[in-house]
Structure 1
């Protein structure tokens, strides 16, 4: 896989562009351009719809934006490197769909059932979209290269799965958590759905001509006869493991020819 690896310029450019936009939004917040809930998702309110577009650029504090910056860069790189033909569709569809789903979910304190006013900002919804898309897309496609990406995402970001649950389930909190599990859950759901929708889109799994059932090649027959003449001992009631080794050698001769 590494031998034929070619770095895509888009896999560098788009993550850096998104990172620059996030930090620009954060600095504008520090200068007071976005005050209070301006630009955030406010569930079930008309003015909160603006946040569907603007909230990924806004963050509550330095720790918040730093925590989202690295996952955004890494996951966008993997998305645009290994799913380039559909990467932009996945990214922007996931962005809008997740934002709308968050806007539709009423903010409820699950311990008391009470509604509360909520302003939701941050790019964590996008992080969950890409993480769950990359993980499940490799599984749905069952492609060796993409499964490697799946394992990589699972290894480094597997802990994200706990973020789809409210913190109140694990800790005794005096007030509802400021971490939006609704964004995480929405992003995860959207990511899985997009992985299923696009499972047959983009780069196709490479299939060699001899893998087709009706394949026939005269050169292969000659190679087979030549092998039998030169190695008659391999055809005298050889065990199954030895037969498998012979077929592997024939496949290697076929590729070289």
Structure 2
């Protein structure tokens, strides 16, 4: 039987090294995008029946779309259009920490989805005075949430590199923020808007440790108040 060290590893063997954050983050977001493609393959083979599981606003059974909508796409063109921003913004999100990426994604996914469920019929066409039922699908709401998270997170944490990332993201992707406004028929500006708002909420919530630490430093360095 071989000798083992106090950590449980063989005494003469080095402990396994932790993988760099960028490797873990890259593998994580790449795995997510691959999942989207696998789902679209299955959806195409089954006549796009999965697409009926999107967010249908103000309908009880439409709430299931909050869970499924970001995984579904109307066609390959829709998915391809979302692929580039998802890879880039998703990867940058993971650099803030994998746990923060997961929590931020969950907040955007749920809060953005619920917001879309509430307002998704705004501006929808009417037929004989009745609003035509809308069905919101696609990862773009999630992408808009990641975008706004990256834009404002650095200003909440006051970390230079995160501010720089936000400025670069604004320069490269800032133009797509116009997608939160009503415009192209068939495009869910409501999902974009709710995802973007949820991204700001996630950035504020998840920057709490840095904001609290900053307030603590201020309280320790503030001059004492004198009364007379």
TM-score, normalised relative to structure 2: 0.77
Cross-structure match for 2:143: 127
CA spacing shift, 1:36–1:130, aligned 2, 3 Å: closer
Structure 2 match to 1:146: 162
**By how many angstroms is 1:123 displaced?**
0.2
Please tell me whether residue 189 in structure 1 is matched to residue 197 in structure 2.
Answer: yes
| CA radius of gyration, larger in | 1
Identify the match of residue 83 of structure 2 among 69, 79, 92.
69
Please list every run of 5 or more consecutive structure 2 residues that lacks an aligned counterpart in the other structure. Answer: 1-19, 214-219, 222-228
- The counterpart of 2:68, out of the listed 48, 54, 58, is 54
Report what 1:29 is aligned to.
Answer: 43
How many angstroms does 1:201 deviate by? 3.3
Q: Partners of 1:73 and 1:178 in 2: how far apart?
A: 24
* Structure-2 change in CA distance of 1:155 and 1:62 (3 Å): same
Quote the Cα distance in structure 2 between the aligned partners of 1:24 and 1:119: 21
1:82 aligns with 2:82: no
Question: RMSD of aligned C-alpha atoms?
Answer: 2.6
* Deviation at residue 36 of structure 1 after TM alignment: 7.2
1:170-229 residue CA offsets vs partner (Å, 9 max, x unmatched): xxxxxxx10000000001111111111222337x99xxxxxx97xxxxxxxxxxxxxxxx
CA contact (8 A) 1:109 1:116 kept: no
> Contact 2:57–2:134 at 8 Å: present in 1 too?
yes
The alpha-carbon deviation at position 110 of structure 1 amounts to 6.8
Contiguous gaps of at least 5 residues in structure 1? 1-5, 169-176, 206-211, 214-257
| 1:125-146 deviation per Cα after TM superposition (whole angstroms, max 9, x unaligned) | 0001100001101122221110
User: How many Å apart are 1:34 and its aligned residue?
Assistant: 4.2
Structure 1 85/58 Cα, relative in aligned 2: closer, same or farther at 3 Å? closer
Q: Distance in 2 between matches of 1:134 and 1:36?
A: 31
| CA distance in structure 1 between the aligned counterparts of 2:47 and 2:124, rounded to whole angstroms | 33
Partner of 1:116 in structure 2? 132
Structure 2: distance between partners of 1:36 and 1:7: 34
User: What does 1:176-255 align with in structure 2 at a 5 Å threshold?
Assistant: 177-201=185-209
Task: Report whether the alignment pairs 1:9 with 2:23.
Answer: yes
Contact 2:151 2:166 in 1 (8 A): yes
TM-score, length basis structure 1:
0.69
